[in-house]
């Protein structure tokens, strides 16, 4: 079973990836000893995904570990906020990874706003030790609720109402969410690209 190092410490994201990429041995960057902070200074999800993938690939090369690296950068984009939080989704409220602060800021900015259309977007990069890579994208559409529905464990899920599921992501099971989520769709595209051997230089 091929080993893939996942460029994330987010438990929800790790769980999603492991559930979909069942034919691979998914390990976290912490498990291979990568502890550095990666400066995600790209302007797009694609930029940041590639930055993370390359940083961990260089680390693995220095350790002579020929593993692939999977990096995902994703976020919530709200129409009425001109696409915010976007690439700043994880640190929208000023503190990286504080989902409660991030959610509250979105709800505060949308107070009284009728247009609550939004979508999740992700860019996924899989890079080999020789530098060849595959990059895919996923999107899912919905609206921002006026309050929480369901689990508050993962990001913006409890305030994002999926039009396809007819419920918030916070109310959905992992299987339901993975069928329509931005990351789920991106990972399915990644599997197709792998089957077709569509590596890029």
Tell me the catalytic residues. 73
Measured CA to CA, the distance from residue 87 to residue 75 in angstroms comes to 6
Q: Give burial (CB, 10 Å; 0-12/13-18/19+) of 189.
A: middle
Q: CB count, 10 Å around CB of 100?
A: 11
The β-bridge partners of 77 are 85, 119
Euclidean distance between CA atoms 155 and 82, whole angstroms: 20
Q: In the beta sheet, which residues pair with residue 78?
A: 118
């Amino acid at each position: 079973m091929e080993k893939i190092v996942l460029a994330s410490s987010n438990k929800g994201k790790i769980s999603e990836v492991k559930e979909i990429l069942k034919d691979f041995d998914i390990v976290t960057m912490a498990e291979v000893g990568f502890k550095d902070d990666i400066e995600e200074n790209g302007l797009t999800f694609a930029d940041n995904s590639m930055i993370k993938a390359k940083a961990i690939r260089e680390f693995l090369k220095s350790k002579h570990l020929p593993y692939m690296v999977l990096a995902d950068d994703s976020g919530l984009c709200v129409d009425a906020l001109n696409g915010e939080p976007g690439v700043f989704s994880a640190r929208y409220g000023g503190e990286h990874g504080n989902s409660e602060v991030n959610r509250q800021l979105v709800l505060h900015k949308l107070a009284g706003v009728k247009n609550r259309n939004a979508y999740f977007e992700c860019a996924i990069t899989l890079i080999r030790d020789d530098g060849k890579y595959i990059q895919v994208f996923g999107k899912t559409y919905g609206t921002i609720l006026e309050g929480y529905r369901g689990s508050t464990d993962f990001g913006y899920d409890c305030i994002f109402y999926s039009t396809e599921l007819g419920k918030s992501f916070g109310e959905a099971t992992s299987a339901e969410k993975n069928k329509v989520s931005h990351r789920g769709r991106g990972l399915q595209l990644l599997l197709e690209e792998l089957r077709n051997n569509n590596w890029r230089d």
